[in-house]
Structure 1
């Protein structure tokens, strides 16, 4: 089993984490709570305990850490539990917000931007308030957007005129239909309501008046075309709509598409594969989340024509919730991020504690937008075939990734995204690039 349910012996789950950290120093040992005393524990951590302490029975060691019971659980069941959990039932993660605020106060920017050297990249383009995007446009397929101030509303830079909704019909004929707002708008209903706002803000946000200090996405104010295809991050049911979304975005001339969604433990249908091929042939970089809470990389990130991103923590350790495997190109921050938040469709805030490879993907999409803008004058001359610009981006992002002292190159890619080094690196020769096989 990849995952296990742990039930504490009455001690807070935070105390269980602290004790696990004592026995597994250097690893991210966080638990994914779904009640005050129950959580999902990744099987990789149990394996690490067995390797480090082969002479101590595993259950005995866990008991010392405060675990009263341990039950294996399938990937699908654990993902369902975590997707459906209600924040009101969860124990507070004490210290996370304070540590994130302190890290921000020390340098004046959120830690995840500093960790991947976004400020240095901005300076190559005139600074975060002065970037001339000159035709660079991002496509974002997700749960849609809201009027969050991270997007500058009412004078937003989102391309609302071309935002779209392609929402799948319900398979349940007896279900009461829920009205869609259309035009890419999130109606605030569903398991992952607000996800598109959180991820979109991480891509393009800019709010000097944000609570807690100015808020920036990696690519501040880059034009984004939002497309709503789902109200949950699992899109097994929305692969036809995924193709519709990609077709629409290609018609809008986007240079990069963010996919912080995944096909979970299911078959990637021909519609999704066609969409990936169409984007690749058009020279549009498709950045995809490796996945959360399962070991194997989910689709479409598992397809070689996409750029697959896994997650790390503020300490550069692999985030325990991240999927991993040889399909991953590199990693980026995916735990305890500050992000734009929304309740319903109109209660806006900036929250701490954003987790998931969705955020690592959004940061990479922002980096791709910066790179496309910085190298715009060179790309057409350097790469006569459109797919070559995708492989050039992949090659440079992988080659310039920062390698932490302790790393897993076969699982989490070549290292941690370094946006400044990516923008500063010379373009590879077209002859050095190989076309990826069709999806």
Structure 2
């Protein structure tokens, strides 16, 4: 059931936004040296993102982005907001997914405010929804393969040093047990393309922070968040002073998750499904899709926006400390992120609780980068399924 009208979250700014957060936000808005790469299902002209009709705002850099999914239809990263024609499309595709996730960063209207309105973003369209069906079988086209994540990462990294953060609210769960047989029949496959693992490695070595959704459909972290060179983001739902874990069963291997952020009841932007013309709405619109607006898809862009704020605030120090070993930028951020997060018990569906690290943006921004003494994280190529 969807939340009650007064239970939606309309503002993702820190609860006490005075001090370091507005200062960092103002600096990031002005910045031309810190941008976010948004790898998702494409974007559409929703007013929550700053569009005036079909005209994009100046901070969404459409010309630098790309459509890698179906460029023959439109080379720009704009989604047509239509489901595909194969039998699994209606169950697995959410063509407005990129609008939903980007609004958690850029939302700036009273209906919904994101973490960093007006930050500069470069969008990439790599799918028609958050779940990748890796393969070339009769029910999935090769351009839906997970290799497109890697291609988009490489394009974004090519814009470094400007793109310092990438947000990815999609993935592939890896081994699915009995369900894997059905996925294979449908033309899908497990894991991530090896070239995507190489792209993750290249981004890490360039000091680009990859924030990836840990997922919630299964009880373990999905790819690419499962790679140790990414920042894996889980979800919580805060009710008063208490937290529920999202997913409610928890993760079998919580050590893979770096931080947790609000993942439920967000009044994020969306579109009415398959209307002609497409109609922009918010989650609390009675006409919007049924069910609760939830997902680690929405927790992840909050962390990505916080990462961009942190990099901008500590930019000169990061360049001074880690110019020769840029992977240390990622590890310095991971240490600051984990160290500044609030340790909280999060309730599971069975009534027990697990400890989680909840994102605290003001505390993160106040934590300067420290020297990195640890070895680099394990290479993405060489771990997991392909």
TM-score range relative to shorter protein = 0.7 to 0.9
Structure showing greater relative contact order (alpha-carbon pairs closer than 8 Å, 6 or more residues apart): 2
Correspondence for 2:317 among 339, 362, 378: 378
Match of 1:96 in 2: 4
Q: Contact 1:148–1:346 at 8 Å: present in 2 too?
A: no
Aligned-partner SS, 1:255: strand
Say whether residues 1:393 and 2:333 are aligned partners: yes
Q: Compared with structure 1, are the counterparts of its residues 182 and 155 closer, same or farther at alpha carbon in structure 2 (3 Å cutoff)?
A: closer
Match of 1:295 in 2: 219
Q: Compared with structure 1, are the counterparts of its residues 349 and 404 closer, same or farther at alpha carbon in structure 2 (3 Å cutoff)?
A: same
Say whether residues 1:113 and 2:5 are aligned partners: no
Deviations 1:189-228 (A, max 9, x none): 1221100001011112223xxxxx2632211111111111
* CA distance in 1 between partners of 2:69 and 2:341 (Å): 37
Q: Contact 1:403–1:414 at 8 Å: present in 2 too?
A: yes
Q: CA RMSD in A?
A: 2.5
Q: Compared with structure 1, are the counterparts of its residues 215 and 433 closer, same or farther at alpha carbon in structure 2 (3 Å cutoff)?
A: same
Q: Compared with structure 1, are the counterparts of its residues 363 and 322 closer, same or farther at alpha carbon in structure 2 (3 Å cutoff)?
A: farther
Match of 2:245 in 1: 318
Say whether residues 1:341 and 2:249 are aligned partners: no
- Higher helix fraction: Structure 1 or Structure 2? 1
Give the length in aligned residue pairs: 320
CA drift at 1:313: 0.2
Correspondence for 2:65 among 145, 163, 168: 163
Deviations 1:275-320 (A, max 9, x none): 1111101110000000122001111111100000100002322123
Deviations 1:115-172 (A, max 9, x none): 5x666543232659x8322321110111000011122123512001112011179xxx
Q: Compared with structure 1, are the counterparts of its residues 381 and 285 closer, same or farther at alpha carbon in structure 2 (3 Å cutoff)?
A: same
Runs of 4+ with deviation above 6 angstroms: none
Q: Compared with structure 1, are the counterparts of its residues 152 and 304 closer, same or farther at alpha carbon in structure 2 (3 Å cutoff)?
A: same
Q: Which runs of 5+ in 2 are unaligned?
A: 84-92, 135-144, 175-189, 285-291, 381-386
Q: Compared with structure 1, are the counterparts of its residues 276 and 335 closer, same or farther at alpha carbon in structure 2 (3 Å cutoff)?
A: same
* CA distance in 2 between partners of 1:134 and 1:338 (Å): 29
CA drift at 1:403: 1.4
Q: Compared with structure 1, are the counterparts of its residues 413 and 168 closer, same or farther at alpha carbon in structure 2 (3 Å cutoff)?
A: farther
* CA distance in 2 between partners of 1:197 and 1:261 (Å): 13
* CA distance in 2 between partners of 1:438 and 1:318 (Å): 29
Q: Compared with structure 1, are the counterparts of its residues 159 and 290 closer, same or farther at alpha carbon in structure 2 (3 Å cutoff)?
A: same
Match of 1:138 in 2: 36
* CA distance in 1 between partners of 2:198 and 2:319 (Å): 25
Q: Compared with structure 1, are the counterparts of its residues 291 and 406 closer, same or farther at alpha carbon in structure 2 (3 Å cutoff)?
A: closer
Question: Please, what TM-score do these two structures have when normalized by structure 1?
Answer: 0.68
Q: Contact 2:25–2:309 at 8 Å: present in 1 too?
A: no
Correspondence for 2:232 among 308, 311, 327: 308
Correspondence for 1:125 among 24, 31, 52: 24
* CA distance in 2 between partners of 1:436 and 1:180 (Å): 39
Q: Contact 1:401–1:418 at 8 Å: present in 2 too?
A: yes
Q: Compared with structure 1, are the counterparts of its residues 196 and 322 closer, same or farther at alpha carbon in structure 2 (3 Å cutoff)?
A: farther
* CA distance in 2 between partners of 1:321 and 1:184 (Å): 34
Question: Please, what TM-score do these two structures have when normalized by structure 2?
Answer: 0.76
Map 1:217-236 to 2 at 5 A: 217-236=114-133
